[in-house]
């Protein structure tokens, strides 16, 4: 079963995400901020990271930069954010190959996005 690390400082969001992802066959690890997430990554292997953007101690952007630049990890990363500057944030994240997902979100759509990240389908259009 694929393992997903949820990095979120709001307990109710972790509960919702965990419930939905477990129902769809994923194992879940949790961390309340980016620093705690790095501790989890030191001990566990994960297939996808879902992280909030705004958290205490270490925010999502710093976590992305640390995972990619300092640790050289290419784990698929989905960053969720309620920030108003989604376009600018998306531009800042492009070099890190991170999916940006706005809050509030529909858990079913988030699960579909994770399924797509883990199981990309190759679609070829023979007419092109």
Please tell me the predicted confidence (pLDDT) of residue 84. Answer: 59
Q: CA separation (Å) from 119 to 6, 72, 78?
A: 19, 22, 15
| Partner residues linked to 13 by β-bridges | none
Please tell me the predicted confidence (pLDDT) of residue 126. Answer: 47
Q: Does residue 20 surpass a pLDDT of 80?
A: yes
Q: Does residue 83 surpass a pLDDT of 70?
A: no
Angle at 103 between CA 26 and CA 96, to 5 degrees: 70
In which domain, by residue range, is 57 found? Answer: 3-118
Query: Domain with 40 in it: what CATH number?
Result: 3.40.50.2300
Q: Quick check: is 25 in a domain? A: yes
Rounded Cα gap, residues 4 and 90, in angstroms: 22
Higher pLDDT, 18 or 125: 18
The pLDDT mean for the chain works out to: 86
């Amino acid at each position: 079963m694929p393992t997903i690390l949820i990095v979120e400082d709001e307990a109710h969001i972790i509960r919702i995400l965990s419930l939905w992802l477990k129902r769809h066959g994923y194992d879940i690890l949790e961390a309340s901020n980016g620093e705690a997430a790095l501790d989890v990554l030191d001990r566990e292997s994960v297939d996808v990271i879902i992280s909030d953007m705004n958290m205490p101690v270490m925010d999502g952007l710093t976590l992305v930069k640390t995972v990619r630049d300092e640790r050289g990890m290419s784990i698929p990363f989905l960053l969720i954010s309620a920030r108003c500057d989604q376009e600018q944030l998306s531009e800042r994240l492009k070099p890190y190959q991170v999916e940006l997902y706005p809050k509030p979100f529909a858990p079913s759509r988030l699960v579909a996005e994770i399924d797509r990240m883990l199981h990309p389908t190759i679609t070829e259009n023979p007419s092109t």
